[in-house]
Structure 1
Amino acid sequence: MIKSWFKNIGPGPLVAAAFIGPGTVTLCTLAGVNFGYALLWAMVLSIVATIVMQEMSARLGIVSQKGLSEIIRTEIKSPLLKSMSIVLILLAIVIGNAAYEAGNISGGVLGLEAVLGQHSLVLGSFSLNYFSVAIGLVAFTLLYIGNYKVLEKALVSLVILMSIAFMVTAIMTKPNIVEIFKGVMMPKFPRDSILTIIGLIGTTVVPYNLFLHASLVKEKWKDKSDLKYARKDTIVAVVLGGIVSMCIIISAAAVQTSEINNAADLARGLEPLFGSFSKYFLAIGLFAAGITSAITAPLAAAFVATGCLGWSTKMTSKRFKAVWIFILAVGVLSSSSGVKSIEIIKFAQVANGVLLPVIAGFLIWIMNKQSVLGSFKNTMRQNVISLIILIITIFLGVKSILKVFELL
């Protein structure tokens, strides 16, 4: 039974790997430090929303055997609307992922530096971080092979490593189980917590994951009868990803100080309380979170760009490789030289804030098309749930844009 489950494990862990990046780790750390267990319910809401959206994306990929960006290009008939949609998607996903890639690699570097110290080559005013280059080379090798099975095994292993690391860290803090259940079951809105709640949901329901999932399931499964495996894979992976995020919040809640701004600070903060092992486990988790996101972000950008532009979406094609090499190179250079592309990241946040409700709306529309999905189209219950999630994504989008422009 276990062997059969592992055989049918698929893109789900890759989706979990994509949404548990250094940004999510940092946000969960701050949620735990500032609000204790009070915001755990927001992660439960995020998990439910992510399962619903990713299940639709996976169903679309298996039934149509096309990626989401390919379907957008073929199903939107108005030339103006099609052009606007493609430009928005390319800007948000390709440019956005290039901006976020530096953060993904930097997160992995922080994990390594928490254990191994800092190692850089200084050439005049230019500094090159060895760990950034090493992480970039690992990501490059796995992506360049262009074999989905190899990539899947590597990322599943890293996700398992990350999960164990963060869970062990949470257990070592000896949390109050009753208070955890209260945090999960009873929604609370502590003072100044609304932006953190929005952030927790926004970093879990990720626009580029909808594209990534639809493209990856058709690499794994070719038959509609495989939908049951895809659903199980999605639910298990997203729930596990949500539990990992909760473990980070629980770990951070144990630290009695507000002088913590990221997971590396949390690793140092836990050491005097729970011994050096807690630091090592957290550092391993942060490294795994960084490197998995550093692989999935360029991969998603390549699927999106090739699908939108009508190019081959095969992982071994030259244009596909050119897109992810560009994203990875930008990330490695920005991360290793310490360049802070704040304006680009702000732009990416705005673009993603606009894109999430647009893509969620388009996905719901396409999931009701008999011509695309036949008998596998959405049921009434699925539509009601997904429309509620759409309203939440619109709210999140507006809030994230207002936050970027400092109007909130």
Structure 2
Amino acid sequence: MKKWFSSIGPGTLVTAAFIGPGTVTVCTLAGVKFGYTLLWALTLSVVACIILQEMSARLGIITQNGLSEVLKSQFENKILRSILVAIVISAIFVGNAAYEAGNISGGVLGLSTIVGSPYLVFGNVTINYLSLIIGGVAFALLYIGNYKVLERSLIVLVLCMSIAFVITAIITKPNLSLILHGFVPSLESEKLFTVVGLIGTTVVPYNLFLHASLVKEKWNKPDQLPLARKDTLIAIIVGGIMSMSIIIAGASIQNLEVNSAADLAKSLEPIFGSGAKYVLSLGLFAAGITSAITAPLAAAYVVQGCLGWEGGLRSNKFRSVWMFILLLGVVFSSLGIKSIEIIQFAQVANGLLLPIIAGFLLWVMNSKKILGSYTNSRLQNLVGVLIVLVTIFLGLRSVWKVVINL
């Protein structure tokens, strides 16, 4: 058992990254609005996530470089390389800054459901002390700069989330036959926006960069690929089960006034008792704090790779990036902006950005110059292309729907 636990890690950090307040919120809304009928979309999202994250992990182990370093190395033309670096940094850096506000706000929602108002008033100054607590915990774990400490802390938090969300789903006593029917694909136009959100919240673009950078912290030999694949498979399936549990819990409340997981927690209390509220709220808090750690970490890895900085987790340049992202998240989450709007915007934006990043990854994964005999198989390429085409189609349709409704 000890040997098995020692072989897991990077995949769990990826799960910690995508099971954030965004996932909890989008899955809650999917369950409340459409019941179990979008479980099929979440299943496909999990399969797509496994396939793309395996490619990312394989790239990191074989090349011992992150995705941003590899992509940059493929452009000899300085102008093209500079454009690529600018696109990647702006997309991931700015996106993660927006994400961080949602992560911390989501964690605050979870805690405030339990402890009450998160605000302290000093004269004319109002301080959201819960945002400061979450930001402080994230800062401490990142500043230590020890990969093992970070990995073990996030594994514990992911386990807490898993238990919280699964227990919540069981408490609601779901209809098993309706759950099974939810895995049968059906796509009506009113569900499209939510489907894109589910894809965007499960297959997160910055996780492709994060995973490639993390695996080389743990593994450095091609014969360790089976360990990385098992780690990826188990961790993402666990994440998928958590997401499905949230949809199932949301489906038990037929109340369109539910706009977030915190609302869901309050709605569960009169029906299933106060225990349900506390369990779900703790899960939301854990989701917020894990993503509040991984989003700045991913941004720092991307910027470090794009700009060619030397040094590891404790280098000053690396720390300056995640500190800036974390600071922005704490500040914006304290301004009273509705976290539901931040989170939903970030999820849909991710759904639109995904085909671009996935396309880059597919291109690199077919380069024998980079990967030698570890390039994609025909089946992997076929599935990868299908994932990109589906995400392009859904993304364009969601944009069109937004435009015609303006």
TM-score where L is the length of structure 2: 0.95
Deviations 1:345-365 (A, max 9, x none): 899678645532221111111
Task: Tell me what 1:116 maps to.
Answer: 115
Tell me by how many angstroms 1:72 deviates: 1.2
* Kept in 1: contact 2:142–2:150 (CA 8 A): yes
Shift of 1:404: 6.3
Contact 2:13/2:151, CA 8 A, preserved across alignment: yes
Structure 1 match to 2:382:
384
Contact 2:29 2:258 in 1 (8 A): yes
Aligned partner of 2:248 in structure 1 is 250
The verdict on how the C-alpha distance between 1:281 and 1:406 changes in structure 2, with shifts beyond 3 A counting, is farther
Aligned to 1:208: 206
Could you say which residue in structure 2 is the equivalent of 1:325? Answer: 323
Report the AA paired with residue 112 of structure 2: E
How many residues in Structure 1 have an aligned counterpart in Structure 2?
A: 406
CA contact (8 A) 1:334 1:340 kept: no
C-alpha change, 1:215 and 1:399, in structure 2 (3 Å) is farther
**1:221–1:299 CA distance, 2 compared to 1 (3 A):** same
- Equivalent position amino acid for 1:79 in 2: K
* CA offsets 1:195-242 (integer angstroms, 9 cap, x no match): 111111111111100000000000011111110010001011111101
Please tell me the residue identity of whatever aligns with 1:282.
L
Q: Letter of the aligned partner of 2:294 in structure 1?
A: T
Measure the CA separation in 2 of the matches of 1:67 and 1:334: 29
Distance in structure 2 (CA, Å) of the matches to 1:343 and 1:284: 22
* Distance in 2 of aligned mates of 1:102 and 1:343: 11
Q: CA–CA distance in 2 between the matches of 1:407 and 1:80?
A: 39
2:266 is the alignment partner of 1:268:
yes
Question: Is the partner of 1:12 in helix, strand or coil?
Answer: helix
1:253-277 Cα offsets, whole Å, 9 max, x none, are 1113211000000000001111111
Residue in structure 1 matched with residue 167 of structure 2 by the alignment: 168
Contact 1:132 1:336 in 2 (8 A): yes
Q: Which of residues 298, 301, 315 in structure 2 aligns to 1:300? A: 298
Tell me whether 1:70 sits opposite 2:69 in the alignment. yes
Match for residue 21 of structure 2? Answer: 22
Could you tell me how far apart the structure 2 residues matched to 1:272 and 1:332 are?
33
In structure 1, what is the equivalent of residue 220 of structure 2?
A: 222
CA shift digits 1:328-349 (9 cap, x unpaired): 0000111123246999989967
Residues 404 and 156 (structure 1), Cα distance of their counterparts in 2 relative to 1, 3 Å cut: farther
Change (3 A) 1:352 1:191: closer
1:152 counterpart = 2:165: no
1:337 alignment partner, SS class: coil
1:177 to partner: Cα distance: 1.2
- Residue 43 of structure 2: aligned partner: 44
Structure 2: which 5+ residue stretches go unaligned?
A: none
Q: 1:237 to 1:345 in 2, by over 3 A?
A: closer
> C-alpha displacement at 1:92, in angstroms?
1.1
Q: Distance in 1 between matches of 2:193 and 2:90?
A: 25
Q: Indicate how the Cα distance of structure 1 residues 400 and 191 shifts in structure 2: closer, same or farther if over 3 A, else same.
A: closer
Which residue does 2:92 correspond to in 1?
Answer: 93
- AA at the equivalent of 1:138: V
Query: Cα distance, 1:126 vs. partner?
Result: 4.1
* 2:35 aligned partner, one-letter code: G
**Unpaired segments ≥5 residues, structure 1:** none
How many Å apart are 1:290 and its aligned residue?
Answer: 0.4
Q: Distance in 1 between matches of 2:370 and 2:207?
A: 21
Separation of aligned partners in 2, 1:159 and 1:42: 23
The secondary structure found in structure 2 opposite 1:261 is: coil
Amino acid at match of 2:325: I
Identify the residue that residue 369 of structure 1 maps to in structure 2. Answer: 367
Answering whether residue 396 of structure 2 is matched by residue 398 of structure 1, we say yes
Determine the C-alpha separation between the residues in 1 that align with 2:66 and 2:117. 41
- Aligned identity (percent) is 61
Shift in Å, 1:119:
3.1
Worse-superposed segment, 353-362 or 257-266: 353-362
CA–CA distance in 2 between the matches of 1:246 and 1:375? 37
Amino acid at match of 2:280: L
Distance 1:337 1:4 in 2: 46
The equivalent residue for 1:54 is 53
Contact kept? 2:197, 2:347, Cα under 8 Å: no
* Residues 246/349 of structure 1: CA separation in 2 closer, same or farther (3 Å cut): closer
Q: Could you tell me which residue of structure 2 aligns to residue 132 of structure 1?
A: 131
Aligned counterparts of 1:167 and 1:357: Cα–Cα separation in 2: 31
Contact 1:50–1:205 under 8 Å retained in 2:
yes
Give me the whole-angstrom Cα distance separating, in 2, the residues matched to 1:298 and 1:208.
10
CA distance in 1, matches of 2:246, 2:122: 37
**What is the CA distance between 1:402 and its match in structure 2?**
4.5
Partner in structure 1 of residue 81 of structure 2: 82
For 1:337 and 1:387, locate their aligned partners in 2 and report how far apart those are by CA, in whole Å: 41
In the alignment, structure 1 residue 192 sits paired with structure 2 residue 183: no
